[in-house]
Amino acid sequence: MVTLFLRSNGPLLVLALGGNAFMRKGEGIEKQWDNVRTAAKAIVELVEKGYRVVVTHGNGPQVGLILEWIHKVSPHLASALTMDIAGAMTQGWLGYMLQQAIGNELEERGLSRRVATIVTQVLVDKNDPAFANPTKYVGSYYDCKEAADIARKTGWVFKPDPRGGCRRVVPSPRPLEVVELDAIKKLVGSDYIVVAVGGGGVPVVRENHVLRGVEAVIDKDLASSLLARSIGADIFVILTDVDHVYIDYGKPSQKPLKLLTTSEARRLLEEGQFPPGSMGPKVQAAIEFVEARGDNAYAAIGRLEEALDVVEGRKGTKIIKG
């Protein structure tokens, strides 16, 4: 088979994959490879169309599983294997799966295997108020009564998840800076598909010029938006398990939104249309990207299986400046 190397000057796209790219609600860990291969096909299709692609991904279910495993198997290690280490472990775990699946899909289509994963640190403020108010969902879905029992034994905090059941919540400070930004830019400039800022990146604080990991999980959509702005992306797309952004989601009056200006999106966000634990950060991330990048840039939110159509505006919700 002849292998081609595609050098592209096409639009630079940051593609943020939701947790459903690996595990969907009700699925076990054994379904991950099937889901990742589906995502890889969508990513490589975009590359064939001429897009330069940087991939980010969620890690909520996986980082939660790691912490749960540690607590069940070796409780005495829980204080040493901290949440930042669990976040780095999932970047390697999920980055490896994406890197292999994307590379295999490239080779199947006769394209050069040029894909790399960067274990990424993201700077946060150690005084961020989020540390006093955990809101980020991680881990498995539980019956809320079972979650209350686990909370009594572990001291963990659980809250109802908008998708049903209860899940553990942890602090989610705002991302400020992508530490490995220069390496990511150089790989993009060499026409690599880059997997970076997995799970929002490993949260770190800077103290006297030294970085230190902290117990938190950064929202991957806000971190992906920061990365997209920092590398000068043209398009920022969040792929999830819903086909549009909705108003009155889950109610008889729910309505899909196909086009949103940043001012409309901000108004609806302030009105509480987009919950903080689900669609809220996605809309906020889209607003921040579009407002920072100017008139020619846009963001989109849609279903993973419809990635190309979402990117090109035929499906999903498009967010533009205005």
In a domain, 56, yes or no: yes
Strand ordering across the sheet containing 210-213: 177-178, 121-123, 202-207, 210-213
Q: What gap in Å lies between CA 12 and CA 7, rounded to an integer?
A: 13
**Catalytic residue status for 153:** no
75-117 residue pLDDT tens: 667 667 788 999 999 999 999 999 999 999 999 999 999 999 9
Domain total in the chain? 1
In a domain, 66, yes or no: yes
In a domain, 281, yes or no: yes
**Catalytic residue status for 20:** yes
Of the candidates 57, 9, 64, the one whose C-alpha atom is nearest the C-alpha of residue 35 is 57
C-alpha pair distances (Å), 234 with each of 12, 135, 182, 219: 5, 30, 18, 21
Residue identified by tokens 């099937």 is 34
Which residue among 18, 19, 95, 200 is the active-site one?
19
Which residue among 200, 282, 302, 316 is the active-site one?
282
Residue 267 belongs to what domain range?
12-125+178-320
In a domain, 19, yes or no: yes
In a domain, 52, yes or no: yes
Residue identified by tokens 């001291």 is 155
Of the candidates 238, 205, 211, 209, the one whose C-alpha atom is nearest the C-alpha of residue 223 is 238
State the CB neighbour count (10 A cutoff) for residue 79: 8
**Catalytic residue status for 145:** no
Tens-digit pLDDT string for the chain (322 aa)? 455 555 668 999 999 998 767 877 677 777 889 999 999 999 999 999 999 999 999 988 888 888 888 777 776 676 677 889 999 999 999 999 999 999 999 999 999 999 999 999 999 999 999 999 998 887 778 899 999 998 888 888 999 987 789 988 889 999 999 999 999 999 999 999 999 999 999 999 999 999 999 989 999 999 999 999 999 999 999 999 889 999 998 899 999 999 999 999 999 999 999 987 689 999 999 999 999 998 889 999 999 999 999 999 999 999 999 9
State the CB neighbour count (10 A cutoff) for residue 108: 12
160-191 residue pLDDT tens: 987 789 988 889 999 999 999 999 999 999 99
* DSSP 8-state symbol, 174: P
Q: Using DSSP, how many helices (H) and how many strands (E) does the chain show?
A: 9, 17
Which residue among 198, 200, 220, 318 is the active-site one?
220
What is the sign, positive or negative, of the torsion defined by CA atoms of 276, 129, 141, 139? positive
In a domain, 2, yes or no: no
Of the candidates 121, 118, 146, 117, the one whose C-alpha atom is nearest the C-alpha of residue 216 is 121
In a domain, 165, yes or no: no
Which residue among 20, 103, 139, 198 is the active-site one?
20
CATH number at residue 103: 3.40.1160.10
Q: What gap in Å lies between CA 128 and CA 135, rounded to an integer?
A: 13
The angle that helices 262-270 and 279-293 make with each other, rounded to 10 degrees, is: 150
| Beta-strand runs (E) in 73-131 | 115-117, 121-123
In a domain, 34, yes or no: yes
Which residue among 87, 136, 277, 302 is the active-site one?
136
